[in-house]
């Protein structure tokens, strides 16, 4: 069933198999996913397609410098007819929330997502309101060197279970995207796009593609329970602990992997084992998930950054110095 979902999504989001797998892993593990890539590469298309295939409600928030926290969580309005205040729920009350270009808004607004991502509820004017289950935040960001971006605070980065990278598709996938897009350039289609303006990911050629849902939300809850039952041997858990400790001791690191990063690595490894149809975690699962889970949490020293050291390189060095359990 999960393989069918992967195939359905990748049939629309061409050339992004690794990103599709990463988002599914986040969903299975009950975590949130940060998606990084240049504009126009299909980040919005991925989120909308996943929600459609899984029959989940979907909402999109375009993060801008003037976005307010209430634009995400909601607000209280006075109802003249009822003579009382009412709560207008924001777009966060959905199954799949696309926080588009999340690093284009100031940290105060970015922080509005923290409670929702961590607790699964939102507090509005003293009332605690539960979010739908499942609840998945897919936050997209442009590379931080792009103009008009704000680095995400460490506290918010740590709330994302993993980070996936969306790169340019290869030549074959690019040609397939063009072939799929070309027949749809009718007068009506061209008119709609002229009206909508320059919306990056809506131009990927399949944003309006109708897809039948493969599963319902209850199936996702069952999968998550199965992921929790994936076994982790004591030796593998100690291996993870040694990896986390080694990141903190590395000379090029100023902020190593936190305990929350450790639990995220465990859940992501369980989800990967489940996806590979296994009932237990292997050290290879831990290694495969390390960059996705730890890469956005580990911060390098300024000197290391100037010398061109990367987090991926640090993680490779850490794994090289920690003995693999037998």
Q: What pLDDT is attached to residue 260?
A: 92
Domain boundary among 105, 140, 173: 173
Q: What pLDDT is attached to residue 83?
A: 72
76 in a structural domain: yes
Task: Give me the phi and psi of 238, to 5 degrees please.
Answer: -65, -40
What lies within 8 Å, CB to CB, of 218 at 6+ separation is none
Nearest C-alpha neighbor of 312 from the set 254, 247, 215:
247
- The whole domain housing 51 covers 2-173
Which CATH number goes with the domain that contains 287? 1.10.8.80
Per DSSP, the three-state class of 170 is coil
Average pLDDT, consecutive stretches of 10 residues, N- to C-terminus, the chain (326 residues)? 85 88 94 88 89 91 88 82 79 93 81 83 84 92 65 81 89 82 57 51 46 75 94 96 96 94 96 95 96 94 94 96 92
Pairing of strands 136-141, 160-165: unpaired
Domain shared by 59 and 126, yes or no: yes
Domain shared by 103 and 235, yes or no: no
213 in a structural domain: no
Q: Which DSSP helix (H) or strand (E) runs through 23?
A: helix 17-29
Burial (0-12, 13-18, 19+ Cβ within 10 Å), 283: buried
pTM for the full model?
0.83
Pairing of strands 96-100, 58-62: parallel
Which CATH number goes with the domain that contains 150? 3.40.50.300
Q: What pLDDT is attached to residue 146?
A: 57
Q: Return the half-sphere exposure (C-beta side, CA atoms, 13 A cut-off) of residue 183.
A: 4
220 in a structural domain: no
Q: What pLDDT is attached to residue 208?
A: 44
195 in a structural domain: no
């Amino acid at each position: 069933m999960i393989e069918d979902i992967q195939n359905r999504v990748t049939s629309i989001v061409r050339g992004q198999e690794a990103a599709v797998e990463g988002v599914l892993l986040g969903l299975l593990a009950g975590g949130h996913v940060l998606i990084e890539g240049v504009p126009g590469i299909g980040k919005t298309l991925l989120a909308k397609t996943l929600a459609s295939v899984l029959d989940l409600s979907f909402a999109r928030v375009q993060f801008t410098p003037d976005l307010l926290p209430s634009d995400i969580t909601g607000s209280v309005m006075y109802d003249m007819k009822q003579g009382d205040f009412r709560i207008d729920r924001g777009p966060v009350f959905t199954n799949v929330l696309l926080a588009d270009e999340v690093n284009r808004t100031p940290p105060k607004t970015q922080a509005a997502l923290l409670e929702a991502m961590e607790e699964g509820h939102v507090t509005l004017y003293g009332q605690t309101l539960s979010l739908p289950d499942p609840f998945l935040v897919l936050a997209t960001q442009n590379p931080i060197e792009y103009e008009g971006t704000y680095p995400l605070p460490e506290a918010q980065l740590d709330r994302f279970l993993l980070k996936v990278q969306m790169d340019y598709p290869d030549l074959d996938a690019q040609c397939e995207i063009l072939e799929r897009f070309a027949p749809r350039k009718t007068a009506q289609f061209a008119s709609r796009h002229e009206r909508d303006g320059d919306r990056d990911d809506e131009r990927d050629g399949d944003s309006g593609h109708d897809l039948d849902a493969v599963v319902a939300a209850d199936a996702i809850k069952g999968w998550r329970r199965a992921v929790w039952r994936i076994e982790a041997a004591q030796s593998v858990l100690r291996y993870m602990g040694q990896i986390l400790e080694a990141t903190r001791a590395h000379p090029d690191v100023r902020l190593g992997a936190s305990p929350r990063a450790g639990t995220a690595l465990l859940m992501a490894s369980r989800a990967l084992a489940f996806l590979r149809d296994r009932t237990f975690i292997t050290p290879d699962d831990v290694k495969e998930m390390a960059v996705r889970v730890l890469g956005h949490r580990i911060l390098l020293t300024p000197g290391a950054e100037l010398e061109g050291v990367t987090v991926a390189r640090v993680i490779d060095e850490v794994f090289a110095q920690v003995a693999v359990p037998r």
